[in-house]
Amino acid sequence: MELYFLGTGAGMPSRQRNVTSIALNLLSERGVYWLFDCGEGTQQQILRSHVKLGRTEKLFITHLHGDHIYGLPGLLTSRAYLGGETPLTLYGPKGLKSFVEHSLAISQAHLSYSLKIVEIENEGLLFEDAGFIVETSRLEHRIESIGYRIVEKDQPGKLQHEKLAAMGVASGPIYGQLKQGKSVVLEDGRILNGADFVGPPLKGRKVVILGDTKYCRGAVHLARGADILVHEATFAKDRQELAEAYAHATTTDAARTAKEAGAAVLIMTHISSRYQIDDEEQLLEEARSVHLQSYVAKDFWSMEIERA
């Protein structure tokens, strides 16, 4: 599981940062990518990355400001041109369905795959299958903005092959039964209990990706115990009044959220174009004065999400 940042700027693109889009690499877990937001130029950013558009399974939109959705019509159409045939599910606030359907209809675009659009009406559980849970919470911005909490379910522990081999147990169907926790009887009469040969469960990872927001309790609640929190930090702390006027967060707002939520790692994104590469150290120092494990994301920067 890996976070890959396709765009990390706020409002409008700059030479250093494109507008917002984040990929969650789940190739090892389920063979796909999930995307979060799709600002203008996202498909160009994808072409410069290892992300495969045709293997995108889900696309989550945090809110309907242009720097988070203007790349959608082009990306959806390009996915069809590139031979994408697997279904794609698009999640986001009310109004997303109208925006996408009108854009595609007016441009006479034809998709070669099934597109499902889910408009989020209520907070809480959004999606669940055998491997993952996705939950949502409303944030505080100028328009409706949503945060997403992605929870990987705990995985069974690893079968201790070396221990079995040392006991002279050859690999085969018996290994599968033991991994399921079953007891098996060997040909020589020995009884093996699966629980004795399976390691402890692998704890699932938790990633929280927020839309634009000022500091709010909804963000803290959603980020509880997260391994990684991705939070906007549009402004440095000396622009607190400006941040509040536009319902955005500063570096210290983001760090405060991470600290209060007990998030292990904070990654700041949605950086205003007023800040250049030389300013990043200042932004980082401000956040780390509140929450030590803080980072500033850059375009095409990634972070592997390790198990605790």
The per-residue pLDDT for range 83-119, each reduced to its tens digit, is: 788 999 999 999 999 999 999 999 999 899 999 999 9
Tell whether residue 63 is among the known ligand binding residues. yes
Strands of the chain, DSSP E: 2-7, 21-26, 32-36, 56-60, 88-92, 115-119, 124-128, 132-138, 146-152, 183-185, 191-193, 206-209, 228-232, 265-269, 294-296, 301-304
Question: Taking a C-beta distance cutoff of 8 angstroms, is the pair 120, 176 a contact?
Answer: no
Which member of 37, 67, 253, 299 is catalytic?
67
Predicted pLDDT at 237: 96
Q: What is the pLDDT of residue 197?
A: 85
How many CB atoms neighbour CB 259 within 10 A?
Answer: 18
For position 158, what pLDDT does the model report?
A: 84
- Residue 212 among known ligand-binding residues: yes
Q: According to the model, what pLDDT value does residue 42 have? A: 97
Question: Is 68 among the annotated ligand-binding positions?
Answer: yes
154 is in an annotated binding site: no
Question: Which is it for strands 2-7 and 301-304: parallel, antiparallel or unpaired?
Answer: antiparallel
Contacts of 220 (CB under 8 A, 6+ apart): 257, 260, 261
SS3 label, residue 242: helix
The set of residues, in sequence order, having a beta carbon less than 8 Å from that of 304 and lying 6+ positions away, is: 1, 2
pLDDT score recorded for residue 56 = 95
Domains of the chain (ranges; CATH) run: 2-153+204-304 (3.60.15.10), 172-202 (no CATH)
* pLDDT tens track for 179-232: 888 888 888 888 899 888 888 888 999 999 999 999 999 999 999 999 999 999
Whole-angstrom distance, CA of residue 266 vs CA of residue 271: 14
User: Which residues of the chain carry a pLDDT beneath 50?
Assistant: none
Question: Is 253 known to be catalytic?
Answer: no
Q: SS3 of 186, please?
A: coil
Give the percent of the chain with pLDDT over 90. 80
Q: By three-state DSSP, how is residue 142 classified?
A: coil
Backbone angles phi, psi at 252, to 5 degrees: -75, -30
> CA 3 to CA 231: how far, in whole Å?
13
**Given this model, what pLDDT does residue 57 score?**
96
CB atoms within 10 A of CB 180: 11
